[in-house]
Amino acid sequence: MIPAPASTVGTRPAGGGTTVIRPAARLRGEIRPPGDKSISHRALLLALLGEGESRIVGAGDGADVRSTADVVAALGATVERIDEATGGRTAGYRVASPGAAGIVEPTGVLDCRNSGTTLRLVAGIVAARPLFAVLDGDASLRRRPMARVAEPLRAMGARIGGRARGTLPPLAIEGRSPLVAIDHASPVPSAQVKSCVLLAGLGATGVTSVHETFATRDHTERMLRARGVAVTTERLPGGRRLHAVAGGQAILPRDELVPGDLSGAAFWLVAGAIHPDAEIVVRDVGTNPTRRAIIDLLRRMGATIEERSISPAEDDGIGEPSADLVVRSSRLRGIDVDPGEVAAAIDEVPVLCLAAAVADGRTRIRGAGELRHKETDRVAGIAAGLRAFGAEVAVDGDEIIIDGGRALAGAVTEAHDDHRLAMTFAVAGLIAGGETAVRDADSAAVSYPGFFAELERVRA
Ligand code: S3P
């Protein structure tokens, strides 16, 4: 069960998962966002694949990462919460695993709850083992498209059934060992699809390759390399990428220090930039080049974001860089965002739309169609939510057009059980006149359990 946000003064739960936000006079303070969700999922899953013990310090403690931890345990690893601190990062997991060959057939359904990353990456892992597994999730996950992973895995030799002719969860997977390598061109830019196919490729004969039309987050590639697996990435013209991995390579166990989640930090970056009296320090945030687009997009809009590097980006494509970010009140202007930038800031688009609603002039976000397939239809959800605040938002096919600069008025908003919409509307509530109600605010705990407590702290 996802816990409800803490009861506080300027922010109060109003029952039924609704939280009320009042405007803040000023925003000040230091925030440490939860550990990066994408890296935490992968650290757990790669710990399952590597024989031996791996410690994951600073792992995110949201419901999604817990779903992955539970699935990893159901597949035969011993997973324990640990409470240890290294370099300012605290708590996480210790995983002891028999390795890929020791993965056991789960006795029950693997419940991925709200987490698409869990379901899609685990599909790639179990498809390459000689076992039967059923992957399921909550009502939201059961609506999300799975053909994008089921089709390549079938082409590699796994048998996969599911609702809607094998395209919706629950998915029933009969794995095969070994699979056969494929050369896959994903129809959508998706790090989940890329990761699923590369993980399956580790259990295939031959070299599996994945073509991407736009670069997506490369945590899987970096983290596999750090665990002794040779994964190649070729940069092609137009931002395209070609990744390849040979099957049969062993994954070494390894400790991971997880940096803070930039996708969680993004709410504070936007809050600080749009609030007229703000200075917020966001500590130890992952700034992986394939993830950092939101920082650069906000700067292009005129946001003052200072970046103090903690560990610099390496050229070897292995480490995960991080930085402290300081954001101050800024005057924003509208920008054009292209489809490649959408792919690089896919989870930050909702809060970017809020920045656009406050900015002077027009923002056009092209190629936003993938947002319709997230925890909810985020194109419809963000348009309806921002309009409720009085913003001017138009949707034209896969394009979102926002004419910014109108004063926002407090509103009743629907997060549709989507954590990123809930947090976006809560941030809007900090600058909107009057009271803002965020329905389904407790969904924030999917990625950011302490979000509403932090919101109270920075406004105090
Ligand atoms: C993720 C990839 C993205 C993102 C999701 C996490 C990942 O999904 O939206 O929150 O960890 O690989 P897609 O790859 O489907 O775009």
Q: pLDDT tens digit string along 169-187?
A: 999 999 999 999 999 999 8
Same-domain pairing of 50 and 167:
yes
Token digits for 340? 């490649």
How remote is the CA of residue 62 from the centroid of ligand 1, in Å? Answer: 15
What does the pLDDT average to over 53-66?
A: 96
Task: Give the position, in ligand 1's atom list, of the atom nearest the Cα of 374.
Answer: 9
Same-domain pairing of 208 and 334:
no
Asked if the structure places residue 7 within a domain, the reply is: no
Task: Give yes or no for residue 2 having a pLDDT over 60.
Answer: no
Longest pairwise C-alpha distance within the chain: 61
Task: Give yes or no for residue 211 having a pLDDT over 80.
Answer: yes
Same-domain pairing of 377 and 417:
yes
Domain total for the chain?
2
Asked if the structure places residue 3 within a domain, the reply is: no
Kindly report the protein residue whose alpha carbon is nearest to atom 16 of ligand 1: 190
How remote is the CA of residue 347 from the centroid of ligand 1, in Å? Answer: 8
Q: Is 288 in the pocket of ligand 1 (CB under 6 A)?
A: no
Task: Give yes or no for residue 1 having a pLDDT over 80.
Answer: no
Task: Give the position, in ligand 1's atom list, of the atom nearest the Cα of 189.
Answer: 16
The pLDDT, as a whole number, for residue 90 is 81
Distance CA 286, CA 284 (A): 7
Looking only at the bridges linking them, the beta strands covering 183-185 and 207-212 are: parallel
Task: Give the position, in ligand 1's atom list, of the atom nearest the Cα of 38.
Answer: 11
How remote is the CA of residue 7 from the centroid of ligand 1, in Å? Answer: 31
What separation in angstroms does the CA of 211 have from each of 38, 148, 189, 423?
Answer: 20, 13, 9, 33
The pLDDT, as a whole number, for residue 16 is 61
What does the pLDDT average to over 349-355?
A: 99
Q: Is 347 in the pocket of ligand 1 (CB under 6 A)?
A: yes
Pocket probe mutation, ligand 1, options 46, 143, 188, 190, max atoms within 8 Å of Cβ: 190
How remote is the CA of residue 192 from the centroid of ligand 1, in Å? Answer: 5
Same-domain pairing of 192 and 295:
no
Same-domain pairing of 47 and 195:
yes
As annotated, the active-site residues are 347
What separation in angstroms does the CA of 169 have from each of 119, 172, 419?
Answer: 9, 8, 21
What does the pLDDT average to over 210-223?
A: 97
Per-residue pLDDT tens for 264-314? 999 999 999 999 999 999 999 999 999 999 999 999 999 999 999 998 776
Helix (H) or strand (E) holding 430: helix 419-431
Distance CA 349, CA 379 (A): 9
Domain end residue (candidates: 225, 257, 289): 257
Same-domain pairing of 22 and 123:
no
The pLDDT, as a whole number, for residue 316 is 77
Q: What percent of the chain has pLDDT over 70?
A: 96
378 neighbors 420 (Cβ within 8 angstroms): yes
What does the pLDDT average to over 364-377?
A: 98
Domain end residue (candidates: 257, 274, 308): 257
Question: Which amino acid appears at position 68 of this protein?
Answer: T
Q: Is 346 in the pocket of ligand 1 (CB under 6 A)?
A: yes
Please give the residue range of the domain that contains residue 236.
37-257
Model confidence band, residue 319 (pLDDT cutoffs 50, 70, 90): confident
Same-domain pairing of 247 and 296:
no
Asked if the structure places residue 16 within a domain, the reply is: yes
Same-domain pairing of 27 and 92:
no
Domain end residue (candidates: 204, 224, 257): 257
Asked if the structure places residue 283 within a domain, the reply is: yes
Residues 6+ apart with CB under 8 A from 96: 52, 53, 77, 78
pTM of the model: 0.96
How remote is the CA of residue 300 from the centroid of ligand 1, in Å? Answer: 24
Same-domain pairing of 245 and 325:
no
Q: Give the end-to-end CA distance of the chain in Å, rounded to a whole number.
A: 29
What is the SS3 assignment for 12?
Answer: strand
The pLDDT, as a whole number, for residue 73 is 98
Asked if the structure places residue 6 within a domain, the reply is: no
Same-domain pairing of 49 and 154:
yes
